[in-house]
Structure 1
Amino acid sequence: MLYSPMRIGGLASGMDIDQIVSDLMRAERIKVDKLYQQKQVMEWQKADYRDINLKLRSLYNTSFDMKLASSYLKYKAIGTMNDGTSFDKYFAVSPGSGAVPGEYKVQVQQTASYARLESSKSIAKPLMGDKLIFDAEGKIEIPEGKFEVTIDGVKKEVTFGGIYQESDINTLAADLEKAINTAFGWQDDENGNTVGIKRVKVSVTDDNKLAIEPADGFNKVQISLSSVKDDEGNPINDILTTLGFKDGDSYRPLNPHTSLKSQLAEDIGEGTISFKINGHQFEFGSSATLQMIIDKINTIPDVGVTARYDALTDKLVLVSKETGLGANIEIVDESGLFKALGFENTSASGQNARIVLNGTIVEKTTNDFTISGIRFNLKEVMEKGQEATFRLENDPDAAVETIKKYIELYNETIDLINKKLSEERYRNYPPLTQEQKKEMTEKEIELWEERAKSGLLRSDPLLDRIVQNLRYAVASVVAGQPAGMKSLADIGITTIDWREKGKLHVNEEKLRSAIAKDPEAVMRLFNADGADSSKDGVATRLYDILKGGIEDITEKAGGGEFQIYDDSILGKQIRDMEDRISNMEQMLLRTEERYWQKFIAMEQAIQFANQQSLWLMSQMNMTGY
C-alpha cells in the first residue's frame, strides 16, 4: 500500500489536483498490477502442486503398506469351545501374515496378573465407645428411648432399649446394629428375607466396647450420633452415655489431604514416616498426608509401582506397573505406616499368562502376545476340562477389501492429476486487483477467481510424466509370475473406457477367486522386488514412481517434509517477483511525488501571477486609470 502525506491542491488553480494525480498514477500502476497478478498465478500453481503432492504421498504410504505380506496373507479363525459355545469369553485370536493355516487347540490355564497389595480393612478406625459398665449382677439396663443417627447427611431417629447380660454383649451389638439399619429402611423377617441395605456395622471389642462403622460393602461415609433434645437443648435421655458414646461422636472416613498423624496418631507415632518400596527409600515429615505419599510413589518410575487411595473402600492399593512373574512389590515398613494402613502382607508377585497350545505349555508375561504368527489376547481362565478348538483359514474377503481400497486411492490420485492436466485455461480471467475487487460482490469475485484458477497446470509436463508412469506401471506384466497371475488384468483389475484415462475397475469375484487359489502369487504380483522394474510388483513400481514424483514436485513447488526454507523453483520465482514489486512500489512513490511537485510548482506560479495582477490593479486604481 502506497504512503503519501496529506496534500491540499487546487487552491490557486481551482483544479482537482488529487484526482488528476490519482488518475495519472492509475496508469502508472498497470505494470505493478501485472506483477501482482503474475505472483498470484504462481502462488495458485504452487498450491495446486502441493495438493497433488499430498495425494501422491497418501498413495505412496499405502504403496509401502502394500509391499508387506500382511496386506494379502490374511486369515480368519473359526471354532468353538468343546461344549459348543464361543471362546470369545476366554481369549481373542488375530492371525497375522506369518500364521500357518491349520487346526489349533487352546486351554487358558492362567492369565497374567499384576503384583497387588492393599489394606485388608478400612484405614479409618471405627467410632469406639467407652467400656460398657455392668452392675454387680453382670447386667446393663439401657432405658428405652430415642437417639439420632446421621449417615452421609441423612438424619434418622433410632428407638432402642433393653436389659442385657454381660454374656450377651454380642446380642446387644446385634440389636443396636439392627435398630440403626431399620431406621434407615432395612428390614428382615424370621425366614431371613431382607429389604433394603445395611448401612452400619456394630461390633464389640475384647474389652467390652461398642464400635460403629459403615457396614461391609457400604460406602465409607461419615456417621454421627446425637441425643434427642428438649426445647431447651438438653438431652431427653442418656441412652448414648449408657452405650459408651457422647453426644456428637462420629465416624469419619480417612481424608487423604489431611495429616496422617492427626488421623492415625496412635498407630504411627511421632517420628519420621519412613519405608522402602522395591529398594527405594521414602521419608516424610509429621505433616505428610496420604495423598503426598501416593504422589511421591507415583512420580518415581524406578519403583515400578502405582499407588492409589480407594475412597469407596477406604483402602490404600499398590499395583505393579507390569504383569508377569517379574512384577514384584517388596515393602520394608520401617515406621509402621503400612501396618497402620491395614496391610497384613508387605510383599506380592505377579503371575505369567499360561496356555496349552496343541499340547505345549506356553507362558508369557502379558495377556497379549504372539505365537507362530497368531496374536492371542487372554481374558479369562478356563475351568478344568474346557478347551477351545479353532481352525485358521485363508480370508480372501479381507484381502479383497485391502486391494479394493488401494485401487480406489490410485483412481482418486490419477483422477486429480488428469483433471488438472485437462482443465480449461481462461486467459481472459486474470487475478483481480484490489481496485477491481472493490467494485465487485463476493459472489462475483468467487466466480471470477474460479475461472482465474482453472487450467494453471494444464498439460503440465511434470504431472503428465507422473501419471503416464503410473498408468504404465499398473498395465504392464510382472515378469517371473506364474501363468494367469502376470498382470492386474489376470486377477480382475482392468480399465474399461479409454476416456477414463487409466481408471481401474475391480471384478471382485475374479479377484477373490485368484486370492483363494494362490494368495502368495497375488501377493507377489503386487510386492515382488526384482532385479529390475520388469520383475517388480505393481505396488513396488508405484512406490518408486511416487517417490520420484514427490521429489520432483517438491523441487518445483516446495512443501517437503521438515522443510524450513522453501528453495523450490516456484518459491524462488515468487520471492524474485516480490522484490520486483517492492522496487516498483518505491518507484511509484517517487513518480507520485514528482507529479505533486510539478502541480505544486504550477500552483505557486499561478499564485504569484495572481498576486502581480492584484498589485497592478491596485496601482492603476491609485493613479486614476
Structure 2
Amino acid sequence: MNINSSGTNGLQGTTNYSRLTGMVSGFDTDGLVKASLSGDQAKIDKIKQSKELNMWMIDAYRDVTSSLQSFYNQFFDSVTSTTNLKLASTFSSYNTVLAAGSPSDVISVTAGVGVRAGVYSLSNIVAATNARISTGTDITKTVETGVISQADLDTIKSSNYNNIFKITLNGKTADITLDNDAGQIASVDDLVSQLQGKLNAAFGVDSSGNGKVKVENNGGKLKFTTVRNTDSFTIGTINNAGANKLFSTAPTETTPFDLNGGNNQFELTIGNNTKTVTVPPLAGNSTFTTADDLKAAIQNGIDAAFGAGSGITAEVNNGKVVLKSESAVNYSIGNTANGATNAILQIDSSNISNKVDLNTKLSSMGAGFAIDPFKNSDGTSIKNEDGTFSKNIEFTITSSKGTSTFSFDPATTSINDIMRKVNMDTTANATMSYDVTTNSFRIQAKDTGATSKLDIVDTAGGFMSSLGISGTGAVGSDASVTVTGDDGTSMTIVRPDNSFTYAGLTFNISKDLPIGADPIKVTVSGDTSKTFNTIKSFVDQYNALIDKLNTKISEKKERSYLPLTEAQKASMTTDQIEKWEVKAKTGLLQGNTDIQNTLDRLRTALYDSVEGVGISLYSIGITTSTDYRQKGKLVIDESKLKEALANNPDEVTNLFTAASDKSYYKASGDYAIKRERYRESGLADRFSDIIQDAIRTTPDARSNPGTLIMKAGQVGDASEYTNSLIKEILGFDKIIDELNAKLTSKENALYAKYANMEKMLSRMSAQSGWLASQFGGQ
C-alpha cells in the first residue's frame, strides 16, 4: 500500500481517497501512474535538455568572445594597451639615453615617430608653473590663554569640578588634573610648573628632556607650543556625567545621590530643539535620598530650560528617574561639556589648537585666526553680537576659465566643506589645500603656463584673507627648453605644459635646471628590438587565438551524449556526471558560421594590400605556414623582419597604422563606405574592425551589436539577458511550465481514478464480508 497524502473532509472518520492508493487492491499505484506519465515526462526532459544545451552554448560563445576581447585589448585598445598597433609611437625604433651624471629629476626624453638619431644638448630648462597663492606662514594665533588672576587660581578645587581638562597630542588624549586642594598653586608660575610636569608625564619628553608640549608664563597668560612643528595638539573639555549618572542612580537613605558640578547637567533634544539642562538643588539641598525628590529637581531643570509644558516629564520607575514624552514628541539625551576648568584658565574655545581643524564649523573657530575671517575690508563685521551672522562669508575666484562666486553659512560650514566645493568647481579651475606641517594653505590653478591666472577676492567677510590666500594678479609661466643638435643648430621650444613633443622628441620637465649647470646631453639611437618584440608578440597571440577558434569550430560533437535528466543524475556518481558532461559539451560550436566568418576575414586582412603602402607582411618576413594542419598560423623570418625594421621603419609603421578618414561607426551602416574604409586602413584598424564586428556591445549604425554578442551576450552588459539564446531559453521555460501543468493535471486525474477504484473495491469487500457474516451466522 502506498500513501502519498491523506486528510479528512471535515467529518470525523471520513477519509479523502484522492491519493490513498493500493489499500484494497494492493497495486503499486505510484509505479502505474509514473509509467502512464513516462511519455509526458520524456517530453519535458527533452525540452529541459534543449535548455541546458543553450546554457552551455552561451558559455562556449562567451569563452570565444573573451579570447577575442583579450586580443583586442592587448593590440588595439588605445586606452589600456601599451602595445597598441594603431599608434605610430608603438613602432618607434629609437632609444634615448641621458649622459652619465645628468640630473634625471629635471627632465625625461623619449623618442617617437619622426625623430632623427644623434646627440642633443638640452639647456635653459624651465618648468611651467601654475598661478598660485600661498599662506607663507602659520595662519593661526599662538595658543594662549587670557590673563589668569590669583582669585581664579584659588577657586580651583576637585570639589568644584574645575580642575580637569583634556589635551590631545597627535591623536593621543590625556586628562590633565590640577592639584590645588591644599593650595599648591600659589601663582601662575606654580601653575606652569605643575602643568608642565603633568604634560611631560602624559606625553613624554624629547631626547633633550624637553616636554613635547611646552607651557610658559607669558605675562600671566599660559602659552602652549610644541617642540616640533609637525606636532598637532588641541585643548578640550571633559564631559559632565549627568546624562549617565542622573538616570542610573536609585537614591535611598543608605545610598544617597550627591548632586555636584560633575554630574548636574545633560543635553536634552526635543524635536529639533537642543538645550543644556542644569539640575538645581531641591530646596537648597544637593543630597537626594529618594527618587521622587531627584525627579522633582530634574523636572525643575527641564522646565527652566524649555519652559513648562515642554511635553517631557520626569517619572520614577523601579526606583530610578526616567523621562517620558507626554505628547509623543521625539526626544534624546546626551552628555554636555564641563568647561569650568577652561573658564578658570581663560581658555578661548576658538583658540585651542596649534593647527587648523578642517572639520570644525567656521562660527566656532574664527578667533583662532590671526586675521578675523568675519570682518569686511572696511572693518565692519558680518558677525552679530549674539553670535549669529548678518550674511554668509563670500568670495570670488577668477581663473583663466572665468569667475566663480562662493557663499557659505559659517554656522553650518567647515573649511573641508569649502575646499571640496572649490576643488570641484570647473570655472574656478583651482585646487585648494592645507599643509598640516606648516599650518598653511595654498590655492593654485589647475592649468599651467603664462595664461594660467588666479584672482581671489573676499566680497563678504575676510575668510580667504584669514587663510592668507586672497590676492589678485597671480599668474603662471610657460615651460621652455633650448635644444641643440649635433650639427650646432639650436631651437628654443616654449609650451604652456611640462609635457610636449617636438621633432619626434617628447619632453617631460619636472623642475628647472639650476642656473650655471651644464647642459643635459641626450643620445638618440636606433633600437628595433622594442618594435620587433611587439610584432612577434602580435603574431604569437594571433596564432594562439586562431588555434583556439579553429579547435572550437572543428571539434566533433558527441551526439550520443545529451544533458542528463534529473532521473539519470540520481543513478550516477558525481565523478560519472562530470565525465559525462565533459563529453556532452564537446563540439557545441562545430561548424559555427559566425566564428568561421571572423576567422576568414582576419586571414584575408593579413594579405590584402593597404592603399598607399608599398610593402606587405610577406615582404617583411611574415608568412602563412605551409603546413595545412596549422590552419593559417603565421611564421616569422626574424632576420627579414629585423632588416625591414632597420631599413624601412616608416613603411612598416604605415602597414600597421594607416588610417581611413571614414569612421568605423559610419562604415557599419553603409557597405560601400565599409569597403572603402577597409581598403584605406592598415592591419591594425582592419583587425580592430573585424573583432568589433563580432564582440562590440554598443549598437552600430544599423542598431545591432556584434554577431557573437547578439547570439550569447556578455556578462555585465544589457545583452547578458537580451541575446537570442536567452530568448530561446525563456521560450523553453514557458513550454516546460505548460507541460508541467498538463502533467500535474493528468497525474491528479490518474490518482483520482485509482482512488475511485479503491473505494469501489472497498465497498465490494465490505459487502462480501457482510454476506459472509450473514451466511456464517445462520
Deviation at 1:410, TM superposition (A): 1.3
Deviation at 1:125, TM superposition (A): 2.5
Deviation at 1:292, TM superposition (A): 4.9
**Does the Cα contact within 8 Å between 2:137 and 2:438 map onto a contact in 1?**
no
SS at match of 2:105: coil
Deviation at 1:196, TM superposition (A): 8.4
Counterpart Cα distance in 1 of 2:462 and 2:592: 81
CA deviation digits over 1:240-282, x for unaligned, max 9? xxxxxx9797964254444555554494564446342326253
Deviation at 1:201, TM superposition (A): 9.4
Q: 1:42 aligns with which of 39, 54, 72?
A: 54
2:574 aligned with 1:442: yes
Residues 208 and 321 of structure 1: CA distance in aligned 2, closer, same or farther (over 3 Å): farther
Higher mean displacement: 319-328 or 523-532: 523-532
Find the counterpart in structure 1 of residue 284 from structure 2.
none
Find the counterpart in structure 2 of residue 328 from structure 1.
454
Find the counterpart in structure 1 of residue 514 from structure 2.
383
Counterpart Cα distance in 1 of 2:132 and 2:358: 23
Find the counterpart in structure 2 of residue 584 from structure 1.
739
**Does the Cα contact within 8 Å between 2:148 and 2:345 map onto a contact in 1?**
no
Find the counterpart in structure 1 of residue 541 from structure 2.
409
**Does the Cα contact within 8 Å between 1:106 and 1:355 map onto a contact in 2?**
no
Residues 515 and 19 of structure 1: CA distance in aligned 2, closer, same or farther (over 3 Å): same
Find the counterpart in structure 2 of residue 423 from structure 1.
555
Counterpart Cα distance in 1 of 2:507 and 2:106: 10
Q: Which sections of structure 1, spanning at least 5 residues, go unmatched?
A: 133-149, 157-176, 188-194, 225-245
Find the counterpart in structure 1 of residue 634 from structure 2.
504
SS at match of 1:369: strand
Deviation at 1:312, TM superposition (A): 3.2
Residues 582 and 256 of structure 1: CA distance in aligned 2, closer, same or farther (over 3 Å): closer
Deviation at 1:491, TM superposition (A): 2.2
Q: 2:395 aligns with which of 263, 267, 276?
A: 276
Deviation at 1:606, TM superposition (A): 0.9
2:65 aligned with 1:71: no
Residues 411 and 303 of structure 1: CA distance in aligned 2, closer, same or farther (over 3 Å): same
**Does the Cα contact within 8 Å between 1:354 and 1:361 map onto a contact in 2?**
no
Find the counterpart in structure 1 of residue 44 from structure 2.
32
Find the counterpart in structure 2 of residue 174 from structure 1.
none
TM-score, length basis structure 1: 0.73
Counterpart Cα distance in 1 of 2:720 and 2:206: 72
Find the counterpart in structure 1 of residue 332 from structure 2.
none
Deviation at 1:449, TM superposition (A): 0.4
Residue pairs, 1:158-557, within 5 angstroms: 184-185=205-206, 213-214=225-226, 217-221=229-233, 252-253=353-354, 254-258=356-360, 260=362, 262-265=364-367, 267=372, 268=374, 270-271=383-384, 272=389, 274-278=393-397, 280-285=405-410, 289-295=414-420, 297-298=422-423, 300-325=425-450, 326-332=452-458, 334-341=460-467, 343=468, 346-347=471-472, 349-358=474-483, 359-385=490-516, 386-474=518-606, 482=614, 485-488=615-618, 490-495=620-625, 497-528=627-658, 537-548=682-693, 551-557=706-712
Counterpart Cα distance in 2 of 1:322 and 1:604: 94
Q: Which sections of structure 2, spanning at least 5 residues, go unmatched?
A: 7-18, 78-83, 150-166, 177-195, 237-343, 375-380, 398-402, 484-489, 661-674, 696-705
Deviation at 1:473, TM superposition (A): 3.8
Residues 524 and 365 of structure 1: CA distance in aligned 2, closer, same or farther (over 3 Å): closer
Residues 38 and 154 of structure 1: CA distance in aligned 2, closer, same or farther (over 3 Å): closer
RMSD: 4.3
**Aligned amino acid, residue 70 of structure 1:** S
2:108 aligned with 1:92: yes
Q: 2:34 aligns with which of 14, 22, 30?
A: 22
Counterpart Cα distance in 2 of 1:123 and 1:432: 78
Deviation at 1:413, TM superposition (A): 1.7
Counterpart Cα distance in 1 of 2:685 and 2:416: 57
**Aligned amino acid, residue 597 of structure 1:** A
Counterpart Cα distance in 1 of 2:366 and 2:593: 82
Deviation at 1:131, TM superposition (A): 11
**Aligned amino acid, residue 557 of structure 2:** R
SS at match of 1:356: strand
**Does the Cα contact within 8 Å between 2:146 and 2:221 map onto a contact in 1?**
yes
Residues 154 and 371 of structure 1: CA distance in aligned 2, closer, same or farther (over 3 Å): farther
**Does the Cα contact within 8 Å between 1:101 and 1:394 map onto a contact in 2?**
yes
Deviation at 1:285, TM superposition (A): 4.2
Find the counterpart in structure 2 of residue 146 from structure 1.
none
CA deviation digits over 1:173-209, x for unaligned, max 9? xxxx9xx99x94565xxxxxxx9899759798xx998
Counterpart Cα distance in 1 of 2:629 and 2:555: 15
Counterpart Cα distance in 2 of 1:492 and 1:539: 15
2:619 aligned with 1:619: no
SS at match of 2:497: coil
Residues 509 and 196 of structure 1: CA distance in aligned 2, closer, same or farther (over 3 Å): farther
Report % sequence identity: 26
Deviation at 1:514, TM superposition (A): 1.4
Find the counterpart in structure 1 of residue 748 from structure 2.
593
**Does the Cα contact within 8 Å between 1:481 and 1:525 map onto a contact in 2?**
yes
Deviation at 1:9, TM superposition (A): 0.9
Deviation at 1:318, TM superposition (A): 3.2
Deviation at 1:518, TM superposition (A): 0.5
SS at match of 1:85: coil
2:575 aligned with 1:563: no
Residues 555 and 503 of structure 1: CA distance in aligned 2, closer, same or farther (over 3 Å): same
Residues 458 and 296 of structure 1: CA distance in aligned 2, closer, same or farther (over 3 Å): closer
Deviation at 1:435, TM superposition (A): 1.5
CA deviation digits over 1:465-499, x for unaligned, max 9? 443443344356668754xx433364245526432
Counterpart Cα distance in 1 of 2:731 and 2:607: 43
**Does the Cα contact within 8 Å between 2:130 and 2:446 map onto a contact in 1?**
no
Q: Which has the higher helix share?
A: 1
Counterpart Cα distance in 2 of 1:610 and 1:60: 81
SS at match of 1:76: strand
**Does the Cα contact within 8 Å between 1:10 and 1:603 map onto a contact in 2?**
yes
CA deviation digits over 1:67-100, x for unaligned, max 9? 44333245332333xxx42342101223443556
Find the counterpart in structure 2 of residue 161 from structure 1.
none
CA deviation digits over 1:221-255, x for unaligned, max 9? 3589xxxxxxxxxxxxxxxxxxxxx9797964254
Residues 20 and 223 of structure 1: CA distance in aligned 2, closer, same or farther (over 3 Å): closer
**Does the Cα contact within 8 Å between 1:115 and 1:323 map onto a contact in 2?**
no
Counterpart Cα distance in 2 of 1:27 and 1:210: 98
Deviation at 1:433, TM superposition (A): 0.7
Deviation at 1:463, TM superposition (A): 3.3
SS at match of 1:425: coil
Find the counterpart in structure 1 of residue 12 from structure 2.
none
**Aligned amino acid, residue 113 of structure 1:** N
CA deviation digits over 1:405-441, x for unaligned, max 9? 3223311221111111232322222111112222223
Residues 259 and 506 of structure 1: CA distance in aligned 2, closer, same or farther (over 3 Å): same
CA deviation digits over 1:540-563, x for unaligned, max 9? 544454455554444554559753
